[in-house]
């Protein structure tokens, strides 16, 4: 059991604790050292209990083999280790495990199997598994009282011919022992002349009607009444173990056998001696009983598409068990009741399974399905056998989309099983006849062939699904409630009996690439290919070490460097781990300086327009002075807007001059105040679009949209119509170049104050 190295100072320590004892604060450990030729010069070894960084002395073990025991806290039994002092080359290994003390075995059964050799073979049966190394010892005592023994690691031992005297009485028993305890069997007595095992019975006959089993047996010197036999039989598809019948002579008749069932029989006998040494079992004989009329009903279920009516459903049923069919099933009969009142009979032939089929396909053949056509109101299914037809079973249509209470469904896969549990409102379950748990693989097509379901009592809230489940395969589990005339879908979930690492993500690409960002997009892994529940996706950038999870199938990559190549990857993650990474490469765009200037220009123009709109709305009497036109700035003059902004302005607008707008408070106290809010409502603002033509500079138009041919430049500034005594509130808007060149000293209130800038950007205003 314990493997050692070739080191001369090797020590192995095996410790056991008794699992049969009730759990307590302390546990008693029984340890045994084994040195395997450890040299006497080697130093002593010690056992320690490791508690964090502290070590407590427990026991010193000598150089020779020894056994000892000690008690420690139960939580410390996994933290024992061994250390050898004074010799760093010495090794010491500790193994701690739980086990059970042995139970008493059965009394030994001894017989001479081969008359020519005459060795005595004794065997026994252990009553429990100790879980730790256990030694069995066979003891026997002859007629003189001499006791001999032979150890064995199994449940049998041999007494050689030289170790007993023929035709004498011998007693035998078995003892069993391990580190946690010992036990002894009952004693058996026999005469060495009478323990020769006889030959098995012969001339075996088996009939089916009635089910009778007969045989014959030879025993020299023994009368027929002294013989005794045991019969064992097994009913296929009905039983899991053999049934043994004692005290039979030469025949056995089985009463009330199952119809159309295969039965297997075997027999053994002894020749009447006191030792009752049984022969070996005879060869197995089998027979099939006659068929009978079927009993019971088929298990019928409906498989309807989500949110569909009865016209898109399949009627499914499980094969009738032989215990109910009681004969060979010829076909299944499906009776359809249509809306027009007629009935249609459909016959589906029984498929015969062959041993050459794949196990997965064989499991799919356990159910049958029949598609329904539109206009079906009722479905009845029955099995037709050679002895008759079973009672028809009415199929309940499964309805979806109905209002149901909240249901919590849990499906957990483990050890080739699915543990299904659910919670429903108690008031809802009062009207439920039973629950049906339906499960099918999402990979099977057509899915009807592998549809399976289990009916659950209305008082239960859990069930364990077993069958031919495959690892890394998704199964859809649905819960239904069955009522008097229909069934209702409650909830469904997807689960795996065992999850695996997801495959590589496919169809990964990058879109919406700019100089600083991009969008990574990938296709989700289909459920039937994912090998497990996809918890999330991992996205990474090789150059930056970026790594982030996502529960979507796209991710925005930001804060990237312009005009640089990036290697990005995507992987899927399940409970079993991360799958293979899919890589792709892309490059960001270069920065566009014209786009930046365009954005600045648009922002400045917007601010200027906003200012003049506020001026028209609030019409303040005192405002800021000298508002420049941003288009005349030096920055914009040096820009090639014909190339950069071809759609925003014309060539004529590029020759605009910087103008200043002066707004001052009305100096004349006799000048009337501005109109009230009611009067200002009379002001009409012409919002019709104006058309300008600028052949040589800034264009000007009159009110009709035509350019006057001989109008002086000052008149082109526009005008403001006066309303009675309403004084001017606009100041003169003059060009700075004209101020310097002309030096006009005309009073500002005698001048017209509508500038080219206003005419271009603002609509004309008329006061009534």
- Phi, psi of 169, deg, nearest 5: -85, 135
- The strand order across the sheet containing 408-414 reads 408-414, 417-423, 462-465
Chain mean pLDDT for the chain? 75
Confidence of residue 416 (pLDDT cuts 50, 70, 90): confident
Buried b (16+ CB within 10 A) or exposed e, 327-363: bebeebbbebbeeeeeeeeeeeebeeeeeeeeeeeeb
Q: Which long-range contacts (CB under 8 A, 24 or more apart) does 688-695 make?
A: 688/763, 690/759, 690/763, 692/652, 692/760, 693/652, 694/650, 694/651, 694/652, 694/653, 694/655, 695/652
Q: Are 270 and 277 a contacting pair, CB within 8 Å? A: yes
pTM over the 0.85 mark: no
Could you give the 3-state DSSP secondary structure of residue 737? helix
Residue 403 buriedness (CB in 10 A; 0-12 / 13-18 / 19+): exposed
Q: Which of 264, 220, 214, 218 is nearest to 239 (CA)?
A: 264
Angle at the Cα of 373 (from 368 to 379), degrees rounded to 5? 55
Q: How far is CA 708 from the centre of its chain?
A: 83
Give pLDDT, residue 312. Answer: 67
284-298, 417-431, 603-617, 733-747: least confidently modelled range: 733-747
Q: Is the pLDDT of residue 380 over 50?
A: yes
Give pLDDT, residue 743. Answer: 45
Give pLDDT, residue 323. Answer: 85
Q: Is the pLDDT of residue 479 over 50?
A: yes
Confidence of residue 275 (pLDDT cuts 50, 70, 90): confident
Confidence of residue 53 (pLDDT cuts 50, 70, 90): very low
DSSP string covering 611-656: HHHHHHHH--SS--S----GGGSHHHHTS-HHHH-TTT--GGGGGP
Q: Are strands 388-389 and 376-385 parallel, antiparallel or unpaired?
A: antiparallel
Q: Are 217 and 248 a contacting pair, CB within 8 Å? A: no
Using CA atoms, how far apart are residues 266 and 245, in angstroms rounded to an integer? 11
H or E stretch at 677: helix 677-680
Q: How far is CA 169 from the centre of its chain?
A: 68
**Torsion of Cα atoms, 684 then 689 then 695 then 696, to 10°:** 40
Confidence of residue 290 (pLDDT cuts 50, 70, 90): very high
Q: How far is CA 76 from the centre of its chain?
A: 36
Residues 6+ apart with CB under 8 A from 624: 663
In tens, the pLDDT along 3-12 reads 333 345 567 7
Angle at the Cα of 599 (from 593 to 603), degrees rounded to 5? 150
Give pLDDT, residue 16. Answer: 80
Angle at the Cα of 580 (from 577 to 582), degrees rounded to 5? 135
Provide the percentage of residues in the chain whose pLDDT is more than 90.
33
């Amino acid at each position: 059991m314990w493997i050692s190295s070739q080191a001369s100072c090797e020590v192995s320590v095996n410790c056991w604790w008794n699992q049969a004892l009730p759990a307590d604060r302390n546990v008693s450990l029984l340890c045994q050292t084994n040195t395997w030729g450890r040299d006497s010069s080697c130093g002593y070894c010690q056992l320690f209990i490791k508690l964090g960084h502290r070590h407590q002395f427990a026991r010193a073990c000598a150089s020779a083999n020894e056994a000892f025991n000690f008690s420690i806290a139960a939580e410390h039994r996994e933290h024992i280790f061994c250390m050898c002092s004074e010799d760093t080359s010495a090794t010491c290994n500790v193994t701690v495990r739980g086990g059970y003390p042995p139970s008493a075995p059965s009394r030994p059964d001894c017989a001479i199997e081969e008359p020519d050799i005459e060795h005595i073979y004794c065997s026994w049966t252990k009553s429990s598994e100790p879980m730790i190394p256990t030694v069995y010892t066979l003891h026997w005592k002859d007629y003189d009282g001499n006791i001999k023994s032979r150890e064995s690691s199994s449940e049998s031992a041999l007494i050689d011919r030289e170790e007993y005297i023929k035709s004498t009485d011998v007693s035998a028993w078995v003892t069993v022992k391990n580190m946690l305890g010992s036990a002894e069997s009952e004693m058996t007595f026999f005469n060495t002349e009478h323990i020769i095992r006889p030959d098995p019975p012969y001339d075996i006959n088996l009939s089916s009607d009635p089910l009778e089993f007969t045989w014959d047996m030879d025993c020299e010197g023994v009368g027929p009444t002294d013989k005794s036999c045991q019969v064992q039989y097994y009913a296929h598809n009905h039983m899991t173990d053999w049934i043994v019948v004692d005290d039979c002579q030469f025949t056995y008749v089985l009463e009330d056998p199952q119809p159309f069932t295969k039965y297997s029989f075997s027999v053994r006998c002894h020749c009447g001696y006191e030792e009752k040494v049984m022969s070996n079992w005879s060869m197995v004989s089998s027979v099939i009983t006659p068929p009978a009329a079927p009993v019971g009903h088929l298990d019928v279920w409906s498989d309807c598409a989500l949110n569909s009516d009865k016209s898109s459903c399949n009627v499914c049923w499980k094969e009738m068990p032989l215990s109910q069919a009681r004969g060979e099933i010829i076909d299944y009969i499906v009776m359809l009741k249509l809306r027009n009142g007629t009935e249609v009979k459909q016959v589906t032939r029984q498929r015969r399974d062959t041993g050459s089929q794949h196990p997965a396909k064989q499991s799919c053949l356990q159910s049958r399905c029949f598609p329904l056509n539109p206009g079906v109101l009722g479905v009845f299914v029955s099995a037709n056998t050679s002895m008759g037809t079973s009672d028809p079973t009415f199929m309940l249509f499964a309805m979806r989309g109905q209002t149901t209470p909240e249901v919590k469904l849990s499906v957990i896969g483990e050890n080739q099983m699915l543990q299904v549990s659910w919670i429903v409102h108690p008031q809802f379950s009062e009207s439920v006849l039973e629950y049906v748990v339906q499960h099918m693989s999402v990979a099977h097509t057509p899915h009807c062939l592998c549809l399976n379901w289990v009916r659950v009592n209305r008082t239960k809230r859990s069930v364990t699904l077993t069958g031919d489940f495959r690892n890394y395969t998704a199964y859809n589990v649905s819960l239904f409630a069955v009522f008097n005339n229909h069934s209702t879908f409650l909830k469904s979930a997807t689960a795996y009996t065992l999850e695996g690492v997801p495959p590589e993500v496919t169809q990964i690409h990058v879109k919406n690439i700019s100089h600083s960002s991009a969008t990574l997009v990938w296709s989700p892994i289909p459920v039937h290919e994912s090998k497990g529940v996809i918890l999330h996706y991992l996205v990474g950038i090789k150059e930056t070490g970026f790594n982030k999870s996502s529960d979507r199938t796209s991710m925005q990559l930001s804060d990237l460097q312009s005009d640089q190549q990036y290697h990005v990857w995507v992987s899927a993650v399940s409970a079993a781990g991360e799958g293979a990474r899919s890589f792709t490469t892309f490059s960001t765009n270069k920065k566009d300086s014209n786009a930046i200037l365009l954005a600045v220009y648009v922002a400045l123009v917007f601010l200027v327009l906003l200012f003049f709109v506020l001026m028209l709305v609030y019409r303040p009497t005192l405002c800021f002075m000298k508002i420049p036109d941003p288009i005349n700035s030096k920055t914009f003059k040096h820009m090639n807007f014909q190339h950069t902004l071809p759609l925003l302005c014309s060539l004529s607008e590029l020759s605009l001059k910087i103008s200043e707008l002066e707004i001052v408070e009305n100096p004349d106290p006799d000048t009337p105040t501005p109109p009230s809010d009611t009067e200002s409502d009379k002001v009409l603002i012409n919002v019709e679009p104006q058309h300008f033509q600028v052949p040589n500079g800034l264009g000007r138009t009159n009110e009709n949209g035509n350019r006057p041919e001989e109008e002086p430049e000052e008149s082109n500034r526009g005008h403001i119509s006066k309303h009675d005594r309403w004084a001017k509130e606009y100041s003169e808007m003059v060009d700075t170049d004209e101020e310097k060149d002309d030096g006009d000293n005309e009073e500002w209130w005698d001048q017209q104050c509508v500038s080219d800038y206003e005419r271009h950007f603002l609509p004309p205003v008329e006061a009534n």
